[in-house]
Structure 1
Amino acid sequence: MKTSRKFSILVLQALLGLTHATSAEKFEVTLAVDGRTSRVESDTAAVYYPTKDKYSPLFVGNDGSAETGGFRLWNLYGGSNSSPEQLSAFKTGRSKLVEIVYSVGDDEEDYVVTLSMQDGFLRLYEIDGKDRKLKYVNGVDKLVRGDFSAMCTWRSKSTGGQYVYVMGKRWLYRYLIREKSSKSRRGPSIEIVETQEFSIPVEPNSCTVSPNGEVFFAGDNGKLFSFPAVDSTATPKITEVGEPASGDEIKGLKVYYGKHSNYLFLGLEDAIEVFDIKKLDKSLGTIKFADEELELNDFAIYQRGSKAHPEGTLIYAGENDDGAFFGTSSLVPVFKSSSKLKPNVKYDPRDCISEHAKPKKCSSLSDCNGYGYCPGNSRSKKATCDCFPGFAGTTCNKVTCRDDCTSPSQGTCTGPNSCTCKAPWTGEKCATLAVPARYETEESGGADGDDPAIWVHPTDKSKSRIITTVKSEVGSGLGVYDLTGKRTGGVTGGEPNNVDILYGFPFGDRKVDLTVAACRADDTICMYEVTSTGELVEIPGGVQPLPEAVKGLEKKFKVYGSCVYHSPKTGAYHIFINSKSSLYLQFELAVKDGKLATTLVRHFYAGNKGQVEGCVVDDPNSRLFLGEEPYGLWSYPAEPDAPAVGTLVDNTVVDGGKLHADVEGVTLIYGKTNQDGYIIVSCQGFSEYNVYQRAAPHKYAMSFTIPNNNEKGVDRVTNTDGITAVGTNLGPEWPYGMVVVHDDVNEAPDGSARTDATFKILSLKDILGAKVVEGLELLKGVDAEWDPRK
C-alpha cells in the first residue's frame, strides 16, 4: 500500500472543509433530471458498457420492495425524452445490491452480480449486450449470511482475478468469480469462491475501488474509510479518511476514470462532491440538482457519450415527493463548469484485460489446489499456501467448517464452511434449532411491518391479542389479531415502528392499558387505549410531539424505536424513544388537564453510538435492554436518576460474541422470581433468535430459527426484525405462552412474494421445551401464571 499518512491527512482536511482552495476555485453546478424510470424502491445502480458502440448502454438497478423485489434492466437511452426504457425485471427477492463484472474466463463473458436480502444468495446473470438480455447462471449461487448494504468490484493486476466485495454491518466478504478448472467443470463453467473475510468498523452505504487498487467505503456514521485491495487473505489495515464538513451521511461513492486524472465522486443526501484522487487536499466542486426535493442514494457513472449526453451520464437512485425512482442527468454541465475536470468518453472497463497477469503458479505446492494464494517463496521447505476461508493444509487440500458443524450429533462438514445438518438443527454451525411457526397473522394491509406486542386479557388470557405495526406509508398503523392470527381490528397511525404495552395506567378515576409506539411520519409518541375486549381506541393526548428541548440535543433527531417502563421504585410510567444515532430519550408519562402528557426526564447515547432500535425493560429489576444493531445487546439502569452506564451483554460474532448483525428486536419472558426468565434477541441478517438467561444475561442458552411449516402452510421467516413474547398460559394451545416475530417477505406456496407483510406465531413450549434441548430444562425458567398487572 503506497497510501501515506500525508494522504490520509489531506483527505481528512478536504472532507472537513480545511482546504487551500478558495470559493472561486471550486465549481458548483446544478443538474436537471433529464430522465427517470417509473416508481421503484431504488437504492443502487450499476451501468453496463457494451462491447460495441452500436449496442445500447444498459444499467441495472435494485428493487427493494417485498412483492416485486430483485432487480431490473433498463436501456439507458431507450425511452422518450432520454428516459430509460425498462427491458426486464427479475424477482430474486427484496434486494439492495447490484454490480457488474467484465471479461470473466477464457470466453470473457460479462455478468450482473446481485444479492437477495430474502434468501441471502449471491447470483450471476450473463449479459447479452447485442440482444439486451440477461441469462441466469444456474448452479453458481453462493449463500452469503448477514445483512449487507454495499457491493463493489476489483480486478487484480497481479493475477487478473475478478473480485466482488460484499459489505455489511461490520463485516466484509470478498468473492472471486472465475472460470472453473477443467478438472472440476461440472455444470456451469464458472464459480464463485470466497477468498477473504474480515471485520470493518461500520456499516457502509457504498464502496468503490480506485484504479490503483484502493477500496473506499462510506459508513452510515458519515465517515469515509479505505484499505488496499491485495491478493491475500490477511486483514488489511483500514484507514479512517475523514468525513464531510456538513456532517451528512455519505450515500454513494464512484470513481470517474479520466485521461490523466481520476476523480472520486462522493454522494451526500442532496449533492455530490468531486475530488481529484491524486490531489485530495481540496474538493474540486459540488454537483447539485434542480429538483430540490430529490434525496440521493447510491449512483453510477456512464462515461461514454450520446446525442443527449455527449460527455456521459449520471445514473442515480433517488426519491422525491412522487416516490422512489432511478434518474439520469447529463454530465456536460459538470465538465463545462471547471477547467480542471477533463472528460474521458473513450473509457472502457475492458481496456486492461489483456495486460492482466495470470495467476501465480507454485507447482511445488500443487498451485494451492486453486483454493489459496501462492507464497512468495514457494520452493522453501517451510512454504505453505495462503488458504481461502474453509480450506486448510500446506496446499489448501483440506476442507474445514466452523466449530466442525457441532459434530457429530448435529451435523457434518461437507464443503468449505458448509455444514449438512441433522434435523431439527440448522444454521452455519448446525447449532441453531429449527422451530416452525404454528400460525401467521392475516395480511396487514402494508408492505413493511416491524415490531409486535402481545396484550394479555385481564380475565380470560385466551382472549389476549397480538398487536402489530405497519411502518410503510401505505397501510400505516397498528393491527389487532387473535392468538391464531385472525384480524379483529386496528387503527391507522403515523408509520409506527415499535409498539409496547403499558398496563394499568391511572387515567382519571380509572386504570387503562395503553399501546405506545414511536410514529416516524411526524416524529411523535403515539398512544391508544386498549379496551377490555382488545380494541384500540383514541385517548386524549394520545399523540405527543417531541419537546423543543430535543432539538438542542440533536438537530436531526428522528424517532425510531421505543419501549416502556413501569417503575417499581416510584410507580411512575416511562417511555423510551430512540433515534438511529443511538440517542435515547426517556419520558415520564402523566395526566395533565385530562390528557396524556409526557416530560423528558433523561437522555443518553447508547452503546458505541451505532444504530439502535429494539429495546425492552425488565420492570422488577429496573433494567433496560437494548440492541445496538452492529455491536450487540446492552443493559442500562432504567431509573431516570441512575447513571446511564451500559453493560455489554453479548457481542456480535465480529467481536467474539454469539449475536449476528443486525441486532434488532429484544423481548423478555418473566419467571417465578426476579432472577428467572429469558431475554430473546432477533438477528436480522441470519433470521435467527438468541435466548439468554435473565438472571445472568451474558449466559447464552440457545438459538432458533423459523423454517417453513408445510403442514399448516405457514412460510419461513426471512430478514426478521421485531419480536415479542409472553411466558404465561394463554390457553390450551399455549400453556407456556407464545412468541410473535416480524417476517419481512410473506412468501406464497409457489415461492412468489405477497405485497402485505405478516407476523409469525410460535409456541414458547415448542422452542424451550423441544426434545433436543429437554436436558437444559429451560421451561422451568418460565412463570406460566405471570400476570402483567400484578
Structure 2
Amino acid sequence: MKSSHNLSGLILLCLMGYIHPTSAADKFSITLPITARTSSVESDSAAVYYPSKSKYSPIFIGNDGSAETGGFHVYELYGKRSDALVKELGAYKTGRSKLVEVVYGEDRDFVVTLSMSDGMFRVFEVDGKNGVRGLKAEKLVRGDFSAMCTWKSKVGEYVYVLGKRWGYRFLVREKKGGRGVEVVQTQEFGIPIEPNSCTVSPEGKVFLAGDSGKVFSFLAVDETAAPKIVEVGELGGGDEVKGLKIYHGKKDTYLLVGLEDGIEVFDIKKLGSSLGKIQFDDEELEVGDFAVHQTSAKGYEDGSIVFAGEDGEGKFFGVSSLTPLFKALGKGKLNTKYDPRDCTDNHARPKKCANLSDCNGYGYCPKDSRDKKATCDCFPGLTGKTCNKITCPSNCTSPSHGTCTGPNICTCIPPFTGENCATLAVPARYETEESGGADGDDPAIWIHPTDKTKSRIITTVKSEVGSGLGVYDLKGKRTGGVSGGEPNNVDVLYGVEFAGRKVDLAVAACRADDTICIYEITPTGDLVTIPGGVQPLPPAVKELEKKFKVYGSCVYHSPKTGAYHIFVNSKSSLYLQFQLSATTDGKLNTTLVRHFYAGNRGQVEGCVVDDENSSLFLGEEPYGIWSYDAEPDQPAVGTLVDNTVVDGGKLHADVEGVTLVYGKTKKEGYIIVSCQGYSEYNIYQRYPPHEFVMSFSIPDNKEKGVDRVTNTDGITAVGANLGKEWPYGMVVVHDDVNEAAGGGVRADATFKIVGLGDILGNKAVKELGLLKGVDENWDPRK
C-alpha cells in the first residue's frame, strides 16, 4: 500500500499533541465468537501470512514457549468451519520461543523467530503450498527479548527485536548472486520500557507498549543513529498492553491495542480516545498477542483475528471473524484487498551511492555522498569510509582473550567467552535430577547444623504441574520435596524461636494464591508443613496496590534487634517487609512493618539480604542492582550498585537472581547477579563501593554429561566448606532448558551446581586472589 500521507505533517501533529477526543457515548462494544482454535500449546505471539498466489491458502504461525517442544507451529488459517480445531501443517523445534513474525522479500518470503534457549534469530523460507521449507539463515542475538515487528523500506525488509530497554534492527536479505539469505544488524538502541508487542504503521511509525499501559513510538528511518522515542499516551488505561497491531484501511489506519480482557480500537490519527472495544465470547479467556488477516475467505468475509489465549482448558491460539467489528465501524472502513508486499515506506533514503561503493552493502549512503570527504553511515560492527572494515566490542579483550573475526563477532580463546571475550566459562560439576515441572526459578542452600557435607539444595517449581519445592543433596540427587502454590523464590531462615524450640525455615512467595509459604526444615534436611505456614497478604496490601501479586522474596535476620523478616515484591516494584513471629498458640505469624517502591519502579524479582551489614540487594530487571537498608525503621533510599549496559553499566537485562557470599569480615565477600538474557553472571565486591570483579558463564561439561546453562533465572551461593569436593562452597543456578545428551530437550527444568572455587580460583583469574575474600568457615547460625 503506497502511503499518501504527509509524513512531516503527521509528525508535527504528534509533537503538538493534536488529538481528537471521541465521546464515550459513541464507543462501540462488540463480542467476537471464537470460531476455531488449536490444540493446547504454550502460546504467546502469532503472525499471519498472505500467500503471493490466490490458489494458496493463508496460514498463521504461532510460537511454542514450552521447554520440551519449543519453537513454532504452522497452521491452516481457514479450514472447514465445522472443524473444532485448526489444522496444523507443521511444527519446528527451534527451542523455547516467544516471538514469530513474517518478512516479505522481493522474491521470497520468510518466517523469523528468536529462541530463548540459545539466543538464535532464525530465518525460514515460506512455501505457500506446504507451509515452511527449512532453515535459511541464523544469527546469535544476546539479550532477553519480548517483542518483534517488521518494516519494509526501499532498502529492504527489516525486523525490529525489542526487549528490556534495548532493541535491535536486522535486515533480512538474499546474499549477492542469490547465494542464500543473510541477517545483518543495522541498528541498536535503548528503549524506555520492556515492550510486550510492537507494530509499524504504513508511514513507518513503530509503536511499542508493555506492562504500564503506555504506548510509545518512533520513526523507522534508514540510518544507524538511535531513534527518538516519544510517549503517545496511556492507551491501555493503566492496564498491561498484551499486543499491538495495525489494520490497514483504504483511507484510515487503525491501531488495535490488546489488553487481557479485550482489544481497544483507535483511529491512528485520533489516539485521544478509543473508538470501541472488542471482546470475546469466552468469559474465562485471557488474550495475549494477536495478528490480523484482512483478506476475505468463506465464513470470514471481512477477515479475521488470530490471538494467543488462555482459558480453563489451557493455552491455545484462537481465530475469530472480524465481521462484527466492521458492522460497528461501518463497511466503508473495510479493506480486504490489503497486501503487505505493497507496503513499502516511500520516505527511505535512496540506496545507491556509487562514489562510496554503495557502502559495500553494509551501511547507508550519506546525503552528500558525492562530497570527497563524505563517509558511509556504517552498520554496527563495521567502519571505514565505505564500511569495509570490521570492529568488535573492546577489540575482544585482545590479544589475550580473543580476536575480531566479523562485525561484532569475537572468536574467544578458552576459557573466555561472551560478546567481547571477557566472560570466564566455568562448567558445572553436577545438575539436579529432574524437578517434576517445566518451570523452575530459584534455589537456596541449607547448611546442615553438624555435618556440612549433608547440607541440602532447595529449588522451586513455579509451573502448575509439579508446583512446589524440591530437595537435593550436594551432587543433585533428589532426597525429598513438598508441594506448594507455584513458589517463585526460596530462602532460608535459621534458628527461629517457635513453640519452645529453634527451627530452620524455608520461605517462598507462592504466586498461585498470593501467599507467603513457609516450611520447616528438619535436622535431616526434609521439608514439612508447620502451623501458620501459609500466610495470606493482609487487607492493607490491597489498599497500597489494588492489583498486588506476589512475585519475588528473600529473608533477613536483624543483628540489631534479633527479629526475623521476610521481603515480598510484586512486578510493579512494590516491596513489602513483614516481621515474622509466633503466636501464643504455636502458629507462625507475619506483620507488615514497611513498604516502598524500589529503584525506578521497573519490574523486580530477585533479592538477597546481607544480615551482617543490614543491606538489602535487589534486582530491578530492566535497570540494575540496588542496595537498601534492611531495617524497617530506616528510610527506603536506594543506592545503585550497578546498572545495565544501556545506561553505561556492566549488567545485561534481564537482571534476575541475586545472591551473597560472606567473607571473613563485613567488608569482604561477594555479590553475584544472574543476567537472564545473556545467561551470564556478574560478581561484585560485597561492601561499598561494590566494585565489579568479573563475569562468568556455565558451558557444557561433556566429560560429566552436564549441559550448558541457558536463559538462567535464580541463583544462590555459599562460600562455606561443604566437604572435600566443595572446600570453598558452591554456586547453584537455574537452567531453563534441560538439553539431553543425545539431542533434544527434556521436559523438566534442572539446576546446575558449580564449585565456587572453580570460579574465583580459576587459573585464568588466579592472580586476582579472589578466594581470599571467602570465609570457608562461615556458619549461618552464628
TM-score (norm 2): 0.97
Find the aligned partners of 2:24 and 2:213 in 1 and give their Cα distance.
23
Find the aligned partners of 2:486 and 2:208 in 1 and give their Cα distance.
31
Structure 2 residue 250 is matched with structure 1 residue 259: yes
Alignment check: 8 A CA contact 1:79 1:85 kept: no
Find the aligned partners of 2:688 and 2:727 in 1 and give their Cα distance.
25
Give the structure 2 partner of residue 118 of structure 1.
Answer: 117
Alignment check: 8 A CA contact 1:369 1:395 kept: yes
Aligned with 2:326: secondary structure? helix
CA-CA distance at 1:180 after TM superposition: 1.4
* 1:145 aligned to which of 142, 145, 158: 142
Give the structure 1 partner of residue 14 of structure 2.
Answer: 7
Query: After superposition, where does 1:510-589 map in structure 2 within 5 Å?
Result: 510-589=501-580
Find the aligned partners of 1:462 and 1:341 in 2 and give their Cα distance.
75
Aligned with 2:740: secondary structure? coil
* 1:670 aligned to which of 647, 662, 676: 662
Structure 2 residue 734 is matched with structure 1 residue 732: no
Aligned with 2:341: secondary structure? coil
* 1:319 aligned to which of 296, 306, 310: 310
Q: How many residues align?
A: 773
Find the aligned partners of 2:462 and 2:771 in 1 and give their Cα distance.
34
* 1:170 aligned to which of 150, 165, 168: 165
Find the aligned partners of 1:336 and 1:10 in 2 and give their Cα distance.
30
Alignment check: 8 A CA contact 1:9 1:241 kept: no
CA-CA distance at 1:280 after TM superposition: 2.7
Q: Deviations over 1:670-729 (max 9, x none)?
A: 011111100000000000000000123530001100000000000000000000000000
Alignment check: 8 A CA contact 2:208 2:215 kept: yes
Find the aligned partners of 1:651 and 1:357 in 2 and give their Cα distance.
35
Q: Which structure 1 residue ranges, 4+ long, deviate > 3 Å from structure 2? A: 3-6, 8-11, 352-359
Structure 2 residue 370 is matched with structure 1 residue 379: yes
Q: Deviations over 1:356-394 (max 9, x none)?
A: 989522121111111110000111122111000000111
Find the aligned partners of 2:568 and 2:141 in 1 and give their Cα distance.
33
Alignment check: 8 A CA contact 2:70 2:96 kept: yes
CA-CA distance at 1:339 after TM superposition: 2.7
Give the structure 1 partner of residue 684 of structure 2.
Answer: 692
Give the structure 2 partner of residue 92 of structure 1.
Answer: 94
Give the structure 2 partner of residue 16 of structure 1.
Answer: none
Alignment check: 8 A CA contact 1:7 1:280 kept: no
Find the aligned partners of 1:147 and 1:387 in 2 and give their Cα distance.
25
| Distance of aligned partners of 1:214 and 1:357 in 2 relative to their CA distance in 1, 3 Å threshold | closer
Between stretches 745-754 and 725-734, larger displacement belongs to: 745-754
Give the structure 1 partner of residue 127 of structure 2.
Answer: 128
Give the structure 2 partner of residue 154 of structure 1.
Answer: 151
Q: Deviations over 1:526-557 (max 9, x none)?
A: 00000000000111000000000000000000
Query: After superposition, where does 1:75-474 map in structure 2 within 5 Å?
Result: 75-78=76-79, 81=82, 83-104=85-106, 108-130=107-129, 132-138=130-136, 140-156=137-153, 159-182=154-177, 188-244=179-235, 246-339=237-330, 342-352=333-343, 360-474=351-465
Alignment check: 8 A CA contact 2:437 2:748 kept: yes
Find the aligned partners of 1:436 and 1:537 in 2 and give their Cα distance.
33
Alignment check: 8 A CA contact 2:152 2:343 kept: no
Find the aligned partners of 2:24 and 2:694 in 1 and give their Cα distance.
59
* 1:610 aligned to which of 576, 591, 602: 602
Find the aligned partners of 1:614 and 1:498 in 2 and give their Cα distance.
7
| Distance of aligned partners of 1:316 and 1:341 in 2 relative to their CA distance in 1, 3 Å threshold | farther
1:103 is matched by which residue type in structure 2? G
Find the aligned partners of 1:340 and 1:590 in 2 and give their Cα distance.
65
Structure 2: gaps spanning 5 or more residues: 1-6
Alignment check: 8 A CA contact 1:10 1:280 kept: no
Give the structure 1 partner of residue 44 of structure 2.
Answer: 43
Q: Deviations over 1:495-528 (max 9, x none)?
A: 0000000000000211000000000000000000
2:575 is matched by which residue type in structure 1? Y
Alignment check: 8 A CA contact 1:150 1:166 kept: yes
Alignment check: 8 A CA contact 1:317 1:327 kept: yes
| Distance of aligned partners of 1:199 and 1:354 in 2 relative to their CA distance in 1, 3 Å threshold | closer
Alignment check: 8 A CA contact 1:34 1:81 kept: no
Alignment check: 8 A CA contact 2:403 2:412 kept: yes
Find the aligned partners of 1:355 and 1:226 in 2 and give their Cα distance.
19
Aligned with 1:46: secondary structure? strand
1:519 is matched by which residue type in structure 2? C
2:433 is matched by which residue type in structure 1? E
Structure 1: gaps spanning 5 or more residues: 14-18
CA-CA distance at 1:78 after TM superposition: 2.4
2:374 is matched by which residue type in structure 1? A
CA-CA distance at 1:757 after TM superposition: 0.6
Find the aligned partners of 2:296 and 2:331 in 1 and give their Cα distance.
19
CA-CA distance at 1:353 after TM superposition: 6.5
Q: Deviations over 1:448-471 (max 9, x none)?
A: 000000000000000000000000
CA-CA distance at 1:649 after TM superposition: 0.3
Query: After superposition, where does 1:46-61 map in structure 2 within 5 Å?
Result: 46-61=47-62
CA-CA distance at 1:137 after TM superposition: 3.0
Find the aligned partners of 1:217 and 1:721 in 2 and give their Cα distance.
25
Structure 2 residue 630 is matched with structure 1 residue 638: yes
Find the aligned partners of 1:341 and 1:718 in 2 and give their Cα distance.
50
Find the aligned partners of 1:732 and 1:354 in 2 and give their Cα distance.
66
Alignment check: 8 A CA contact 1:69 1:93 kept: yes
Alignment check: 8 A CA contact 1:37 1:85 kept: yes
Aligned with 1:608: secondary structure? coil
Aligned with 1:137: secondary structure? strand
CA-CA distance at 1:221 after TM superposition: 2.0
CA-CA distance at 1:103 after TM superposition: 2.5
Find the aligned partners of 2:297 and 2:685 in 1 and give their Cα distance.
63
CA-CA distance at 1:262 after TM superposition: 1.2
Between stretches 756-765 and 362-371, larger displacement belongs to: 362-371
1:142 is matched by which residue type in structure 2? K
Q: Deviations over 1:192-224 (max 9, x none)?
A: 100000000010000000001100001222210
Give the structure 2 partner of residue 748 of structure 1.
Answer: 740
Aligned with 1:146: secondary structure? coil
Give the structure 2 partner of residue 67 of structure 1.
Answer: 68
| Distance of aligned partners of 1:278 and 1:118 in 2 relative to their CA distance in 1, 3 Å threshold | same
* 1:499 aligned to which of 473, 490, 496: 490
Aligned with 1:780: secondary structure? helix
| Distance of aligned partners of 1:205 and 1:739 in 2 relative to their CA distance in 1, 3 Å threshold | same
Alignment check: 8 A CA contact 1:421 1:430 kept: yes
Give the structure 1 partner of residue 652 of structure 2.
Answer: 660
| Distance of aligned partners of 1:281 and 1:788 in 2 relative to their CA distance in 1, 3 Å threshold | closer
CA-CA distance at 1:345 after TM superposition: 1.0
Find the aligned partners of 1:80 and 1:539 in 2 and give their Cα distance.
54
Find the aligned partners of 2:158 and 2:568 in 1 and give their Cα distance.
42
2:121 is matched by which residue type in structure 1? L
* 1:774 aligned to which of 753, 766, 773: 766
1:90 is matched by which residue type in structure 2? Y
Find the aligned partners of 1:704 and 1:281 in 2 and give their Cα distance.
48
Alignment check: 8 A CA contact 1:165 1:175 kept: yes
| Distance of aligned partners of 1:79 and 1:42 in 2 relative to their CA distance in 1, 3 Å threshold | farther
Find the aligned partners of 2:15 and 2:266 in 1 and give their Cα distance.
14
| Distance of aligned partners of 1:217 and 1:352 in 2 relative to their CA distance in 1, 3 Å threshold | closer
Find the aligned partners of 1:358 and 1:765 in 2 and give their Cα distance.
55
1:492 is matched by which residue type in structure 2? S
Q: Deviations over 1:607-664 (max 9, x none)?
A: 0000000000000100000000000000000000000000000010111100000000
